[in-house]
Amino acid sequence: MTSVLSDPAETEPGSTKPQRTAAQAATEALSSRTASVVTIIVAILWTVPTFGLLVSSFRPEEDVKTSGWWTIFTNPSFTLQNYKDVLHGGSSQENLFNNLVNSIVITIPAVLIPISLATLAAYAFAWMDFKGKYVLFIAVFALQIVPIQVTLVPLLKLYVDPPFNLMPLAGRDAPAGGLYELWISHTIFALPLAIFLLHNFMREIPGELIESARVDGAGHVQIFTRIMLPLMMPAIAAFAIFQFLWVWNDLLVALVFSSPEVSPMTVKLVQMVGERGQDWQLLASGAFVSLVIPLIVFLSLQRYFVRGLLAGSVKG
C-alpha cells in the first residue's frame, strides 16, 4: 500500500526517473544552452548602440559627420578634442563643466535629505505607537500613485508665492529656480516610496531584539542609532542608488524648477540637441560625461544594492 505521506518527487512504480517540480524545470530551462545563447544575443544588441556612442565621442568631427562609427575598424582615428570642448568650451562654446557641478550639488542633498527623513518616519511607523498611525501610513502609501506631473504647478506656485505671507525660498525679488526648490521637490517625490520600503524592511527585524534593548534601558534614540541604522544599511544603500540615478537623470523637475544658473547636465544636453543638433560628437561626449559618475556610484555600491534587494526575502 502506498503511504499517503509519500514524497511526490519520489519515483513512481515502474519509473526510473524522479518527477521534476515546476521550479526545477524552470531552473533547468533558464540555465540551458539555448537560454544562455539568447541572453548573450540580447546583451550584445543592448550594448552595441552604447559602444557606438562611446566610439563616436572619441572620433573627429569630420569623421563623425561623414562615416559611421564602425569604420574605425578599417580607418581608426581618435581624438580627445570633443571632451575638451564639452568640459572647457573651446571652439564649440559648449561648457558642461558647470552643469556637471550643478548635477552633483543637486543630487547629493536630494539623496541624503529624503533618506534622513524616511528612516526616522519608518522607525516611527514600525516601532512606535501613536494616534492615527495606520491612517497616516495608508496616506503615505497612497501618495505613491500621485503622478509627479499634477504636482508641478501647485509646487511652483508655492515657491513663487508662499501662503501666510511667508518669504519665498530665494527671496522676495528673486525668481524661483534655485537649488532649494530642486532639493525640496525631489525630497517630496522620494519620501513616500522611501518610507514604505524602509518601513517594510524594519518590520522584518525581530521584535525580540527591540524588546531586549528596552529591557536593558535603551530608549528610542539608542535603539534607532545603535540597532536599526546598522541593520538597515543594505536597504538604505539600495534606495540611495535608486534615488541617485533618478535625480541625476531627471529632466522634468529640472526643467520646471531650475534656473539657467543651476541647470543640471540633463537640461544642458537637451539644449545642445536643439541648438547643436548636428554636432553628434559633442552630444556623444556630453552623454558619456553625464554617464560616468552614476556608473561609478552604481559599481562601487553594487554589493550593497544586491543586499538591499534581497534584504528580508529570507527568514531564518
Q: What DSSP line would sit under 144-187, residue for residue?
A: GGS-THHHHHHHHHHHHS-GGGPPPTT-SSSPS-SHHHHHHHHH
Distance separating alpha carbons of residues 175 and 172, to the nearest angstrom: 8
Q: First vs last Cα of the chain: how many Å apart?
A: 37
| Secondary structure element (H or E) that encloses residue 118, with its range | helix 97-127
State the number of CA atoms in the 13 A half-sphere of 128 facing the CB. Answer: 16
The secondary structure of 220-279 as a DSSP string is HHHHIIIIIHHHHHHHHHHHHHHHHHHHHT--HHHHHH--GGG--HHHHHHHHHHHSTT-
DSSP letter for each residue of 64-89: HHHS-GGGGGTS----SHHHHHHHHB
Q: Which residues of the chain have pLDDT under 50?
A: 1-11, 312-316
Q: What pLDDT score was predicted for residue 280? A: 74
Distance of alpha carbon 218 from alpha carbon 258, whole angstroms: 45
Nearest alpha-carbon partner for 190 in 144, 258, 137 = 144
Q: Would residue 22 be called left, alpha or beta, if left means φ above 0 and alpha means ψ between -120 and 50 degrees?
A: alpha
CB atoms near residue 226 (< 10 Å) = 11
pLDDT of amino acid 170? 55
Contacts of residue 91, Cβ cutoff 8 Å, sequence gap at least 6 = 85
Per-residue confidence (pLDDT) for residue 156, from 0 to 100 = 84
Can you read off the three cell numbers belonging to residue 302? Answer: 553594487
Q: What is the pLDDT of residue 6?
A: 46
**pLDDT tens column, 84-96:** 878 776 555 567 8
Looking at residue 312, its pLDDT comes to 45
- pLDDT, tens digit, for every residue of 9-36? 444 555 555 566 766 666 666 677 887 8
Rounded distance, CA 191 to CA 188, Å?
Answer: 6
**What is the Cα–Cα distance from 147 to 256, expressed in whole angstroms?**
15
pLDDT at 271: 79
288 three-state secondary structure: helix
Count the neighbouring beta carbons within 10 Å of the beta carbon of residue 118.
Answer: 25
How far apart are the C-alpha atoms of 59 and 191, rounded to whole Å?
43
CA distance 202 to 236: 11
Q: Is 62 helix (H, G, I), strand (E, B) or coil?
A: helix
The CATH number that domain 97-310 falls under is: 1.10.3720.10
Per-residue pLDDT at 131:
87
Per-domain boundaries in the chain: 22-81, 97-310
Report the pLDDT value the prediction gives residue 8, as an integer from 0 to 100: 47
How many residues does the structure list for the chain? 316
